[in-house]
Structure 1
Amino acid sequence: MNQGMFDDLNAQLDAMSPEIQGAALISNEGAVIFQEGETIADQRLIGIAGAAIMRLAEHISSGLAECPAQEISVRCDRHTALFMPVGADALLMLVLSADTDTRPLARAIPGMVSALG
C-alpha cells in the first residue's frame, strides 16, 4: 500500500465513522509505514507491539480449527485500538473512542482494501 492508497482508505474510513481519531499502517516487522491523526506517542513501540499482537492472534487462531485472525481490539477507558491485517505484509491500526462498535469497520475494511488494488 502506498501513501495515496493509505490516504484514500483513511478518507473512506473517516466518512464511515467519525469516531476514528487516527490510523497507522504497520509492517509485519513492526515499522510504522504511514500514520494519520492522533495515533501513537511512540511509533517504534506501537509498531512492534501491533505486529506482535497480530502474530500472537494468528498463532492462537491457527489452533482453533484454522480460524484466521480477522481483528484485534485493545480497549481502555477512553480509547480502542483496532488492529486488522491488510494484505500479507501489513496491518492497519485505528484509534477510536472506547465506546465505538468496531464490528462495522472490521467488516468493511477488507473490501475497501481490495477495492484500492
Structure 2
Amino acid sequence: MNLEQFEDLYAQLIALTPDIQGVALIANEGTVLFQTGETVADETIIGVAGAAVMRLAEHISAGLLAECNTQEITIRCHRHAAFFAAVGADTLLMLVLPADTDTRPLVGMVASLTNALPHNK
C-alpha cells in the first residue's frame, strides 16, 4: 500500500466510522509505515499486537477454524481501543477509537475496503 492508497483508505474509514481518532499502517515487525491522527506510539505494544494477530491467523488458517478468513485483536484502556487487523501478508492496520466502541463490525469493513485496493486485485 502506498501513501495515496493509505490516505484514500483513511478517508473511507472516517466516512464509515467518524469516531476514529487515528489510523496507522504497520509492518509485521512493528515499524509504522503511515499514520494519521492519534495512534499508539509504544512500539512494544504494536509489536505484541502484530505478533498476536499474525500468530492467530496462522493457527486459525491451519486448524478447525479455517473458515475464519479475518483475524483481529483489540487492546483497550479506560479511554481508548486500539484495533489491529491484518491487511496483507506483511502489514497490519491499527485504528484508534473510543474505548466503548464495538470493534467487531470493523473486521468485515476493513477487509472489504482493503480487498478493494488495487494491490489486492
TM-score range, shorter chain: 0.7 to 0.9
CA contact (8 A) 1:27 1:47 kept: no
Query: Any stretches of 5+ residues in structure 1 without a counterpart?
Result: none
User: CA distance change for structure 1 residues 32 and 55 in 2, over 3 Å: closer, same or farther?
Assistant: same
Query: Once the two structures are superposed, what CA deviation does each residue of 1:30-62 show, in whole Å capped at 9, x if it has no partner?
Result: 2111111000233x3344223222133235535
Alpha-carbon distance, 1:103 to partner: 2.1
> 1:55, 1:109 → 2: CA distance?
16
> 1:60, 1:115 → 2: CA distance?
26
User: CA distance change for structure 1 residues 55 and 12 in 2, over 3 Å: closer, same or farther?
Assistant: same
User: CA distance change for structure 1 residues 101 and 35 in 2, over 3 Å: closer, same or farther?
Assistant: same
> 1:76, 1:59 → 2: CA distance?
27
Secondary structure of the corresponding residue to residue 56 of structure 2: helix
CA contact (8 A) 1:83 1:94 kept: yes
Give the letter for the 2:94 counterpart.
M
Give the letter for the 1:51 counterpart.
G
The alignment-based identity, stated in percent, is 52
> 1:40, 1:75 → 2: CA distance?
11
In structure 2, the partner of 1:16 is: 16
CA contact (8 A) 2:40 2:46 kept: no
Q: Across the two proteins, how many residue pairs are aligned to each other?
A: 116
Secondary structure of the corresponding residue to residue 21 of structure 2: strand
Give the letter for the 2:82 counterpart.
A
Secondary structure of the corresponding residue to residue 20 of structure 1: coil
CA contact (8 A) 2:22 2:39 kept: yes
Query: Any stretches of 5+ residues in structure 2 without a counterpart?
Result: none
Q: CA RMSD in A?
A: 1.8
